[in-house]
Structure 1
Amino acid sequence: MAILNNRYEFDPATDELGRGGFGRVFRAKDTFLNREVVLKYAAKGDLPDKYSLIEEIKRVIDFNHPNLTRYFDAMTDRAESGFGETVEYQIGVMEYVRGGNLQDFLASRPTEEQLRPIILGILEGLDYLHKQGIIHRDIKPKNILLQPEDGKLIPKICDFGISKSAGGEMTALSNVIGTFEYMSPEQLGNNPDQRIGTNADLWSLGVVMYEMFTGELPFGSQRSGQTSAQVIGNILRAETPPKLNQIPQPYRTAISQCLVLDARNRVR
C-alpha cells in the first residue's frame, strides 16, 4: 500500500484505473476527508512540450459545476524508476466518477430517453466552461464520464489537458491538437487566419451526438478502415453525413447546426 503526501492511500497493483502516453491513473482514498478520489500521475519527462498537469489544474481548480469533473489538489513527487533513475511526477487529485465513460456506455446501445439528459448535461457543462473563457478542444465520448445518481447518469466533462483560454491568441497552425476525428475544421487548419473559438467544442459535440444515435462517426474513422488523411479530408469538406436523416428531431437539427464548416456561421 502506498501513501501520497501522508493523505492519499492506494495500492498501485490493484487500484490502477488506466494509463496513457502521459502517465497513469489510480483510485485512492483520501484518509483526511474519508472519500474516494482519483490520482492522475504524469511523469514530467513523458509530457509533451509546453504541457504541464499542474498548469491544467490551476486553470480549472476553482470551477464548480455538476457537469465538470473537479480537481481538488495538485502536487509533485519523486520516485525511483525500475532503472534506478529518479523520476519527477506531476500529480492531480480529482473527483472519482463511478460510472465509466460515455464511450463504453454507447456500446450498450442506449435509448433516446437515456441519451437526452446526457446531451443536456454536456451542453450545460460546456456553457459553464465557455463562460469562464475556456475552450476544451478535445470533446469526445472518452472524455465524458458518467456518475450514477438517483437512478440517472450525470455526465461530467473531464481531461482539460489541452484546454485553452478563449481570450488568447490561438490559430489553427499552432494548435493542431486533440483527437482528429472529433476536431473542428479550424483546428485542422482549413483557415490559418481564423482564431479558434468556443464553438470549436460545439463542432465536436455535433460529432459526438451523431455517434450517439448512429454508432458511427460522421466523417469516418481509422477504426472503420479509413486513413487519417481521408477522415481529415472529409471533415474539411463537411458534406452532409450519410445517416443524418435517420436521427430523430430535434437532435438532427442540432447536429446540423454544429457541423457547419465555417465557424463564423456555426451555432454558438
Structure 2
Amino acid sequence: MLHGSGNVSYHLRECIGEGGQGWVFRANWDDPSGHVVIVKVLRPDVVSTEALRRFQREAEVLRMLSTQGRPNPYIVRFYDHAVAQVPSPFNQETIAFPFTVLEYVDGTTLEKVLLDQKGRGLSADRARRLLRQMCQALDVVHAQKVVHRDLKPSNILLATEAGTEIAKVTDFGLVKLVDMNLARTAALAGASLGYAPPEQYEQGNQRVSPRTDVFSLAAVTFEMLAGKPAFPFTEGENPLLIVTRILNGPRPSLMKTRATLAPEIESSTPTIEALDRELAKALSADPKARHESVMDFWSAIQNALRAIEGDKSHHHTPPRRTPPLEVTAKMPAKTPSDPHRPAAPKSGPRPDEAIASNPASWTWSILSGPIPGQTIRAATFSPSGDKGIAITSGGILRWDHHSWTPAVMPSAVSGSAVRGVRWLRDASALLFGEGGLVARVTPSGAVDVWRVPDPEITFHGAFVDDSGITTLVGERPYRGFAQRSVHGSTAGVVTQFSGDRLTVMGDAVNCARLHSVTRLPVGDLLACGDSGTLVRVELGVVEQIGSVCDGHLLSIAPLASGGALTVGAGGHALSIGAKLEAKLEPVQTTRDMLTVVTTDDGQAWAGSMQARLLRRGAASTWVRMSGDIGVTASMIALHARSTSVRAIGDDGTVVEGRLA
C-alpha cells in the first residue's frame, strides 16, 4: 500500500507492466475494493536527478491537462503524484518510491491491435476515427505549450465506452531514460526510433515543436493504414543508421505497400496518391515543411480519404473555404423510444411532390395581423403548431386560436436581455439571452432561473430533448491569447444542462458566435454559427468541424434520413450529410434565411426576411412558395406538416399556407 497526497492510500494489485524505469500496477483507490486506478512507480535504483525531473514533469503536465475546465476524454486522466517512503527489508532506512496515479483504461494498446492485424492495415473508418481522437488530444496538449515527443502505437490506449472504441493518449515522453548502448536500445536521446523526427536527436532539442508530434502522428497513421511501420529497422541495427535513413532516405509510400491496405483504400488510386502526398509532407525531415498543426494534418488526411466515397458532391462547397472535416465515428441508429431522438411534427401521408413543389398549389391566409408598436424579438410554436410564444421588449405574448394574449414578464427576467425562446413539453417557455440568461417560465408566471457561472455569455440558440437535456449555444468574450483567423472579440460557447444542473460548458474558439443547435437522428449535437462554422458536441467535448461557407449560418434542423439542413445570411442553404460533409443548395432568394424546420417525412421549410417562405423540393432546390401575401415582416419561427405550414413574423403577423 502506498500513501499519496491528502492521506489517500493506494492498494497495489498485480503488476501489469515493467521496464527499466519502473513498474505499472493496477490498484484500488483508498480502499481494498475502491475505484480501480493505475499506479506508475519509479524504480529507486534509477532515481537520478534527470529521471526524477522527467517523472515529475509528466505528472505536472497531466495534472494541468486533467484540471482544465473541460478535460479532454482522449487523454489519460491524472489523479495523484507523491513519494512513498517504504521501509527497507535490509536495514532501518526507508526507500523513496516516486509514483503517479492515473486513470485505469480497460482495454489494449494500438500496438497490440496492429500486431493482431498481421501486416494488414485498419479499415478506413477505424483509422480515421482513431486519428481524429488522437489529434483532438494532441491539440489540447499543444495549446498548453507542451510537446508529447514520444507518440507511438504503444502509447495509444484503446478502450470501449458506450459501445464505441475510444483512443486515449498516454505516456507523455517525459519519463524516458537515456540508454546509450546503441547496439541494444530502441531509443536514442529519449526518443523512440522509427517514430521520432530528426530534430529530436539534435543537441538541446532547439527545433522541437508541435510539428515534432505531427511527424510522429504521421508515422502512426502510416502504420495504421499500411499495417507496417513507416521506418522499419531490424533488431540490433545501429540506431544512428536508422536516424540517417529517416533524415535522408525516401519517404514511406502507401502505393508501394498497396497490397496490405484495407480493400476500400486499396481500390482507390486517387485516395492512395492523396494520402501519400500528405504523409510525405508530414514525415518531412525538415520541421518547417510539415503541416503547421495536428489539426491541419487531420484536415488534410480527411480530405484525402474523401475519394473513397466516390461522391463528387462532397467537393461542391462554396469558394474560398476549406470543406469541413468529415466525422466518421459510427453510432447505432436511435430507436423511436430513445429520449435523445429529436421529435418531429407528425405529418400525414406525403403529398405528390410535383404538386407540393408548385407554388400555385398553395393558398395563403393571415391568421393574426401585426401587433401595433411591437417588435417580436424571438418566437416559437408548440409541437402541435396550434399555440405560440413570442418575446417583445415589454413582455411575453402567447398565441392561441388566432390571437395574441399578453403575459407578465417575471421580475427576475429582463425582457431586453432575451434573445430566444423555446417551447417546453409542459407548455412552459425556456427563455435565454444576454448575461447568461437561462430561465424557465411556467404558464402561471412562475420562474426558475438556471445559474450560469459566466455573466458575459449571450445565448442565441437552444435545443431541448424530451429527456430533460437542454443544450444552448452563443458567444462570450474570447479570453485566449493565441491569434485567431476569425474576426471579432468573442468565441462560440456551448452550455448543457441536465434538468436545471449545469453539466457542460465549452468554447469553440475558432468561431466568433454560434446561432443554433440541433440533435441529429444518430444522436450527435450539431451547431452552426458565424462564417459558416459547424461545431459538433460529443461526450461533452466541443469539436469544431470546420467552415462550410462564407456566410453566417443562423438556423439548423435535422433530417430524418440523417444529417441536417442549415440556412443563413445572403440566402445560404446547405445540406449536411450523415458524415458532416456539406453541399451548397440552390435558393430562390438572396435575403437572409432566418429559420429552418423539417418534418418526419423529409420536407423542409425556411423563413426569410421580407416574408419569404421557401420549401425544399425533391431536387434539393429551395423554391419561394409564398409569393406576395401582403406581408413584409421577417419570418422568425416556423411549424410545418406535410400539407401545411405556419410562420410568425417579427411584427406579430402569423401566416398559414395550405396545400390545395
TM-score bucket (shorter structure): 0.7 to 0.9
Structure 2 equivalent of residue 146 of structure 1? 158
- On the 8 A contact 1:210/1:244 being kept in 2, the answer is no
Instruction: Say if 2:254 and 2:276, in contact at 8 Å, map to a contact too.
Output: no
Q: Does 1:186 align with 2:188?
A: no
The 3-state SS of whatever aligns with 1:69 is coil
Report the count of equivalent residues.
251
Aligned equivalents of 1:193 and 1:8: distance in 2? 37
Distance 2:200 2:113 in 1: 27
In the alignment, structure 1 residue 9 sits paired with structure 2 residue 16: no
CA distance in structure 2 between the partners assigned to 1:238 and 1:265 by the alignment: 16
Distance in structure 2 (CA, Å) of the matches to 1:44 and 1:161 = 20
Determine the C-alpha separation between the residues in 2 that align with 1:220 and 1:47.
32
Counterpart CA distance in 2 for 1:264 and 1:157 is 25
Alpha-carbon distance, 1:242 to partner:
4.5
1:200-239 mapped onto 2 (5 Å cutoff): 200-223=212-235, 226-239=237-250
Residue 95 to residue 83, structure 1, CA distance change in 2 (3 Å): same
Q: Give SS of 1:88's match.
A: strand
> Which structure dedicates a bigger proportion of its chain to helix?
1
Q: Tell me: CA distance 1:222–1:145, structure 2 relative to 1, closer, same or farther (3 Å).
A: same
1:88 is matched with: 96
Note if contact 2:10-2:28 (Cα within 8 Å) is conserved in structure 1. yes
Q: How does 1:30-179 map to 2 (within 5 A)?
A: 30-31=29-30, 34-52=34-52, 53-63=55-65, 64-80=71-87, 84=91, 86-109=94-117, 110-162=122-174, 176-179=189-192
> d(CA) in 2 for partners of 1:107 and 1:83?
43
Aligned mates of 2:165, 2:206 — CA distance in 1: 37
Tell me by how many angstroms 1:239 deviates: 1.4
Cα-to-partner distance string for 1:175-195 (whole Å, 9 max, x where unaligned): 932112211111123x98952
Report the CA distance between 1:151 and its aligned residue.
Answer: 1.9
Match of residue 264 from structure 1:
288
Give the TM-score of the pair, scaled to structure 1: 0.83
Q: Name the SS for the 2:199 alignment partner.
A: coil
**What is the alpha-carbon distance in structure 1 between the residues aligned to residue 48 and residue 113 of structure 2?**
30
Residues 43 and 87, structure 1, Cα contact 8 Å, conserved in 2: no
Cα distance per residue 1:47-80 (max 9 Å; x no partner): 4542322332122203121111111111111224
1:83-106 deviation line (CA, Å, top 9, x unaligned): 557421101010001111110011
CA contact (8 A) 1:68 1:125 kept: yes
Specify the alignment match of 2:21 in structure 1.
22
Query: Quick check: 209-218 or 247-256, which moved more?
Result: 247-256
Tell me, yes or no, if the aligned pair for 2:151 and 2:173 is still in contact at 8 Å. Answer: no
Paired AA for residue 59 in structure 1: V
- In the aligned structure 2, how far is the partner of 1:135 from the partner of 1:47? 23
CA distance in 1, matches of 2:114, 2:173: 24
The one-letter code sitting in structure 2 at the alignment partner of 1:132 is: Q
Unpaired runs of 5+ in structure 2? Answer: 66-70, 176-187, 266-270, 293-660
Give the partner amino acid of 2:63.
I
Aligned to 1:170: none
Q: One-letter code of the match for 2:79? A: F
Larger Rg: 2
1:62 is paired with a residue whose SS is: helix
- Greater shift in the superposed pair: 211-220 or 25-34: 25-34
- Flag the 1:60–1:214 CA change in 2: closer, same or farther, 3 A: same
Which position in structure 1 is the counterpart of 2:208?
196
Code of the aligned partner of 1:7: S
Structure-2-length-normalised TM-score: 0.36
The 1:244/1:47 distance shift into structure 2, 3 A limit, reads farther
Q: 1: CA distance between counterparts of 2:216 and 2:19?
A: 22
Distance 1:196 1:55, change over 3 A: closer
Q: Is the 8 A contact 1:203 1:260 kept in 2?
A: yes
Match of 2:276 in 1: 252
Aligned to 1:169: none
**SS of the residue 1:17 aligns to:** strand
Q: CA shift at 1:149, angstroms?
A: 0.9
Q: What code does the residue aligned with 2:84 have?
A: D
2:21 maps to amino acid: F
- Report the aligned-residue RMSD: 2.6
Counterpart Cα distance in 2 of 1:244 and 1:132: 37
Note the C-alpha offset of 1:216: 2.1
Deviates most, 123-132 or 56-65: 56-65
Distance in 2 (alpha carbons) for counterparts of 1:238 and 1:201: 20
In structure 1, the gaps of 5 or more residues are: 164-174
1:37 & 1:192 partners in 2: Cα distance? 35
